[in-house]
Amino acid sequence: MLDMIKKINKVLRVVFIGFVAVYGIVKIFDIVPKEKKQKAAAAEERTSEFDELW
């Protein structure tokens, strides 16, 4: 029973370290899907209702 818990602990540790590593790489290289970049660019070009009134 104790051996099984130790193995699960090691597996979870490896998964967590892998997740943190991948997240860090994504943040370092600023990897963003193309769709998200297009939506961000389109959001900047919009004018509000108040701008149209003036």
31 CB contacts (<8 Å, ≥6 apart)? 25
Question: Digits of tens for pLDDT over the chain (54 positions)?
Answer: 999 999 999 999 999 999 999 999 988 888 776 666 566 555 566 666 666 665
Say what the pLDDT of residue 54 is: 57
Give the Cα separation of 30 and 27 in Å (integer): 5
Give the Cα separation of 37 and 53 in Å (integer): 29
Q: How many residues does this entry show for the chain?
A: 54
Longest dimension (CA), the chain: 73
Say what the pLDDT of residue 13 is: 97
